[in-house]
Structure 1
């Protein structure tokens, strides 16, 4: 059975706080990869954590662009339906309790009943807006408050239409960011009043349909973006847009597991990146170039952290929704054309967050899978320019570029120097891969040589990747349990395994296969100890690792995503399936506390989906998959490029069978699978066992 949209509760993973994450998600209602998402706001006192699934308080529907609480929101707008007079000007004075049991939180449909005002609010989205139905069940006339952090202006166009404008600045570059909002009501507007910095619109009736749309282009474009259909028809279209993507997975037989969490992960997978282009009345795709403030042709996407998503999300897009992947690539190339750099963490323009320039991973992955050959030459130039052109603002490109080029590593002068160095070495592998694909052998060899720079930070005495100063001396006060400072959101234990592109080289560096195997065993068997040296306090990733009984395998965060699959390269390949199945059973749950840590832009959900398939793209940029252990007895996956279904079957899929006895691709036994072979295959069969093979 294909996923049923109405059974997906978007609140999974929302029971999170600043100090501890169970997903750090928001219950987005929207269309896949939409420009706007809609969330009921429960509090304005918790900053980025403005929704609490346990708090039955409703301050209004928030139109949001927040991709992560650590990034924060921008160009947001709160719409609060009320009746009667309000005694004060704050959100506290306007808020109402709402009935948790009567509320519906679906990807395509949101329904809230306000107890104070006896108003039923229903919303269904479009890419650029939403259709909203308001009904006051006692027949009282409706009013709507509008609230934003930006300066909010309002212009009444006619008796049923208003235009909003809110002016802000982007977080990093401080570029002007103007969002225009069009609101069209099905009933007359009786009056409009400004209340402090907010606006109140009084309506003539107790029921109203509100058509809403936004634009970053112009007021006129916002009106053009308004939903063209009524609420019911809009809801049908929103449902179809989700079902087209979710329906590419068909769980024929679940076996001894529940599919609820898997379906939720599929929903999370198709949220990011978000659309940041619009379609003009002439049918042309256009976007605002935030670097210049001008309107440019072409696609553009935003709200995506490549440090997170290159590992799992985009390789899954390549397999499941290749037609979307090609659009994303075009959009990312337009980012480069607009700014001179490939994006790292756009929201909406570049935030400069996290180490590396890891969009290189998805470019190399798309090249080795032949996703968009017509773009490869320009992408190669963009990768090289991003890797070799320093940004005076230290936002775009490689931080510490001159030093990295001189020393072959970043020194202790730079924050998170080890993580940056390892990620740069991986990016150099990606550049080499793309150059080789285009027949540029000399360039490929040059960057293949650079890709070995990770070796410059390996300390054979301790067995870890360590920070060096400019003279080549290792940092003296070293502890493998120390988080931060030299490492991004991890310690030396996890970071030292971050050589995705040269696992055999890393294994040799550590002393050979046996030493590499022992390193992995020790990491998983060790106590989850940590030291706060780099941060000065306990960050939530430390807390999540410490409270989960998985040793130093901090599955809550991206540097550990591939670690279970590294056992495939060790003396204990059977341990991969043991770890994966145990993590699935113990670290994830179908509830508001769904995840073992931050569900960043769909990346942790994608990790879970890969685990359910029994496959994993350990190194994006290499067109092959390592074997894991499937979740279901029988899962069908639609491969759009080949227009056929791949059947993944699991024999002896008992709850206590944690090992893979054998795996066959079209009746041929395999230990790993090439991407093209998977696309051409009809069946992938796993047989599980109680004890491992010997």
Structure 2
């Protein structure tokens, strides 16, 4: 079992301590033609977005880029736009997560005396950090000029990182640092407990390290080659001890190597580096297969071409120029994760600690931020990249079978981090199954059944309290932390698991799971209309304040990155049950009104994840991101339309501080893409989309099989957020929702927009979206 009261992302971090290049400062504007709009890769690199601007291929293994910090929460990705100096360039990053890891194999092009430590952010001159200028990025490429005069350029293949450094005339060196993470805490498990560097006879530098940061005990291996032979090589071991001349191999915990050039500026120095999560042989093979030459420009051109196709999946015209850039940037960020894990030969580290081989033609993936991405990122991929969605589903089924804990929670580099709550790999599988994506879902059912019913099976903190949930119908707040959120999220996973049970032919289990999927109501007190902590003897927490995080925040909290306001609307799957539980349509509409208009006050110890407040609605975090769409279920869809338009325009900007919360491996970005198009998957497992309000006049989404969806809203303007009518393929469409099977066939969805609400559109019960497999009475 993974111990700890709460495995939230914030707590984990504290515990483990062709398009033109786009300049960060100038915020590039979109071109007139929608197809030419380039993403701004610096969106989300400031504020709390936690993105990074370095190059990757779509879903690639190598995610190369600059590191500006490795300690602060705001630099979880290794980069923050406000830091002002760069340590160097490492080969792996996480995009938008709320906890930090990766940052493997740092390359530092330097001049002058060799410095072995990065130094202080406030005083870059104290170490090898460099202030910088002329920073530019585009999909598949990055470049910057360092204060020491070195011009750095980066690009990638799927499994290799490419560097090109142009030094001024005179001596220079390239430092390879395997230990630039923050210092180890005395008495704690070292962040790096074993590492190796070796210089092979052919001049290839190989190495490995084992890291205990977020994915505890993960391994990374690399093989690195330089285009120019150095004049000498120096190794440094633990304690930054310089090794004897002629050393070609060093082992320890905190290792470095330096390649010295007497005239570094004589010609560009190129570096190509392959990585592997399996072994050095895998890294060598990846490098040999994907880097057979030294033509940097051709590699960069191929990366740009890969992104050109990926970024054509959604294009738009209308709206503002900045909004079109935000759309392109969101589409870019939505295709970084999950990231490739398997080597060219198919090998990858499994969640059981063993090395496995993916089936021929298949791949394994990492960085599944499932607590976040099941909501919109995976549903987006089922539309714009159904083949990729199918590959991810097959991978999740294999990981479900291999993991001792069953369905993955937050797998990273072959390690189950157990971060957040629930077992939200199952909704991804259930959604795909409901949408007709072919996979062996029955193969996942035994492990899902163990997680659902076997309370003696190996457990994670993310699924703590399952026995209480099953026996009592809720998790008592005095027996388990985050009890209110757990009860509701376990209920959603039961709803999803029931679909897999049914597909596997286990009808009795499916029926039991569907009954348990109603457990959400046992932590929502209808007497006060709020999600409320409930104790083992059945009584509710009193005096109750929905702004607070729990009945005893000094010991534990009753919600997961939320409070009572946000948890009250957490339900995604039984919305008509929730409406009835809270008193009917009018009462539920009033509750939503109150959510969006309450004072935006939070306790002093609220996690920074609760951000982007509109009233007590928090757009910067996932638990209530569907709340604006809930008006459609109680007969007030015009309020959905107005709020969605407001969120699209207020919560996203063409700016480094342009994502109001952690992007969370593309979830925040996917929310924008859906909402800007005019529909959203409130419950992905239901396989329908609730209509909102499109942001653009015309948008085009590329679907699988050569099909396209065209979304039209002629004359749409900032002052026309309300839907007057809808047509589907030229015929009137009276419903406030559309099914996936209909949308995925392709066609034309046309909105007539207006400045005043049409309260008759989609407000009648017959026009409202289905939920929990049923329609409103």
TM-score where L is the length of structure 1: 0.91
CA 1:397–1:493 in structure 2 vs 1: closer, same or farther (change >3 Å)? closer
Paired residue secondary structure (1:462):
coil
Q: Is 1:238–2:306 an aligned residue pair?
A: no
Check whether the contact 2:419–2:462 (CA below 8 A) recurs between aligned residues. Answer: no
Mean Cα deviation higher: 248-257 or 473-482:
248-257
Distance in 2, matches of 1:392 and 1:75, equals: 34
Deviation sequence 1:59-93 (CA, Å, 0-9, x none): 21122343555322136221100123236655454
**1:290: Cα distance to partner?**
4.9
Paired residue secondary structure (1:155):
strand
Check whether the contact 1:96–1:114 (CA below 8 A) recurs between aligned residues. Answer: no
**Residue 541 (structure 1) aligns with:** 609
CA 1:145–1:433 in structure 2 vs 1: closer, same or farther (change >3 Å)? closer
Check whether the contact 1:48–1:72 (CA below 8 A) recurs between aligned residues. Answer: no
**Residue 57 (structure 2) aligns with:** 31
Distance in 2, matches of 1:322 and 1:436, equals: 23
**Residue 95 (structure 1) aligns with:** 128
Distance in 2, matches of 1:321 and 1:396, equals: 33
Q: Pick the aligned partner of 2:391 from 304, 320, 327.
A: 327
**Residue 278 (structure 2) aligns with:** 217
CA 1:152–1:434 in structure 2 vs 1: closer, same or farther (change >3 Å)? closer
CA 1:96–1:530 in structure 2 vs 1: closer, same or farther (change >3 Å)? closer
Check whether the contact 2:274–2:284 (CA below 8 A) recurs between aligned residues. Answer: yes
**1:212: Cα distance to partner?**
0.7
CA 1:273–1:56 in structure 2 vs 1: closer, same or farther (change >3 Å)? same
CA 1:489–1:143 in structure 2 vs 1: closer, same or farther (change >3 Å)? closer
Mean Cα deviation higher: 47-56 or 684-693:
47-56
Check whether the contact 1:57–1:95 (CA below 8 A) recurs between aligned residues. Answer: no
Paired residue secondary structure (1:571):
coil
Q: How does 1:266-277 map to 2 (within 5 A)?
A: 266-277=331-342
Q: Pick the aligned partner of 1:649 from 708, 712, 729.
A: 712
**Residue 181 (structure 1) aligns with:** 222
Q: How does 1:367-382 map to 2 (within 5 A)?
A: 367-372=433-438, 374-382=439-447
Mean Cα deviation higher: 684-693 or 51-60:
51-60
**1:317: Cα distance to partner?**
0.6
Paired residue secondary structure (1:26):
coil
**1:594: Cα distance to partner?**
0.4
Paired residue secondary structure (1:687):
strand
Check whether the contact 2:421–2:462 (CA below 8 A) recurs between aligned residues. Answer: no
Check whether the contact 2:371–2:424 (CA below 8 A) recurs between aligned residues. Answer: yes
TM-score where L is the length of structure 2: 0.82
Q: What is the count of residue pairs matched by the alignment?
A: 670
**Residue 162 (structure 2) aligns with:** 131
**1:277: Cα distance to partner?**
1.1
Q: Pick the aligned partner of 2:417 from 335, 348, 351.
A: 351
Distance in 2, matches of 1:219 and 1:256, equals: 46
Deviation sequence 1:468-491 (CA, Å, 0-9, x none): 222212123421111251111111
Paired residue secondary structure (1:494):
helix
Deviation sequence 1:282-303 (CA, Å, 0-9, x none): xxx2212253343444432221
Distance in 2, matches of 1:664 and 1:588, equals: 28
Paired residue secondary structure (1:541):
coil
**Residue 578 (structure 2) aligns with:** 506
Q: Is 1:157–2:200 an aligned residue pair?
A: yes
Paired residue secondary structure (1:601):
coil
Q: Is 1:460–2:521 an aligned residue pair?
A: no
Any stretches of 5+ residues in structure 1 without a counterpart? Answer: none
Q: Is 1:56–2:119 an aligned residue pair?
A: no
Check whether the contact 1:389–1:397 (CA below 8 A) recurs between aligned residues. Answer: no
Check whether the contact 2:347–2:356 (CA below 8 A) recurs between aligned residues. Answer: yes
Distance in 2, matches of 1:268 and 1:334, equals: 26
**1:382: Cα distance to partner?**
3.1
Q: How does 1:494-573 map to 2 (within 5 A)?
A: 494-532=566-604, 537-542=605-610, 544-545=611-612, 548=613, 550-573=614-637
CA 1:514–1:650 in structure 2 vs 1: closer, same or farther (change >3 Å)? same
Mean Cα deviation higher: 60-69 or 302-311:
60-69
CA 1:514–1:278 in structure 2 vs 1: closer, same or farther (change >3 Å)? same
Paired residue secondary structure (1:30):
coil
Deviation sequence 1:19-54 (CA, Å, 0-9, x none): xx2x12222421111123122122456477242313
CA 1:184–1:48 in structure 2 vs 1: closer, same or farther (change >3 Å)? farther
Check whether the contact 2:74–2:80 (CA below 8 A) recurs between aligned residues. Answer: no
**Residue 287 (structure 1) aligns with:** 348
Q: Pick the aligned partner of 1:599 from 663, 668, 677.
A: 663
**1:498: Cα distance to partner?**
1.5
Check whether the contact 2:598–2:615 (CA below 8 A) recurs between aligned residues. Answer: yes
Distance in 2, matches of 1:679 and 1:89, equals: 53
CA 1:673–1:301 in structure 2 vs 1: closer, same or farther (change >3 Å)? same
Distance in 2, matches of 1:491 and 1:187, equals: 58
CA RMSD across the alignment: 2.3
Distance in 2, matches of 1:274 and 1:79, equals: 21
Q: Is 1:584–2:648 an aligned residue pair?
A: yes
Q: Is 1:633–2:705 an aligned residue pair?
A: no
**1:158: Cα distance to partner?**
2.9
Any stretches of 5+ residues in structure 2 without a counterpart? Answer: 1-32, 182-191, 241-254, 551-556, 760-777
CA 1:85–1:418 in structure 2 vs 1: closer, same or farther (change >3 Å)? same
**1:437: Cα distance to partner?**
4.6
Paired residue secondary structure (1:662):
strand
Q: How does 1:472-487 map to 2 (within 5 A)?
A: 472-484=538-550, 485-487=557-559
Deviation sequence 1:537-582 (CA, Å, 0-9, x none): 232134x35xx4x211211111121011001012321111100111
Q: Is 1:106–2:174 an aligned residue pair?
A: no
Deviation sequence 1:294-333 (CA, Å, 0-9, x none): 3444432221221100111001111110100111112112
**1:427: Cα distance to partner?**
1.2
Distance in 2, matches of 1:429 and 1:87, equals: 56
**Residue 337 (structure 1) aligns with:** 401
Q: Is 1:682–2:710 an aligned residue pair?
A: no
CA 1:297–1:680 in structure 2 vs 1: closer, same or farther (change >3 Å)? closer
Check whether the contact 2:322–2:653 (CA below 8 A) recurs between aligned residues. Answer: no
Check whether the contact 1:67–1:73 (CA below 8 A) recurs between aligned residues. Answer: no
**Residue 84 (structure 1) aligns with:** 112
Paired residue secondary structure (1:326):
helix
**Residue 99 (structure 2) aligns with:** 71
Deviation sequence 1:484-504 (CA, Å, 0-9, x none): 511111111111111111111
CA 1:29–1:451 in structure 2 vs 1: closer, same or farther (change >3 Å)? same
Distance in 2, matches of 1:253 and 1:434, equals: 42
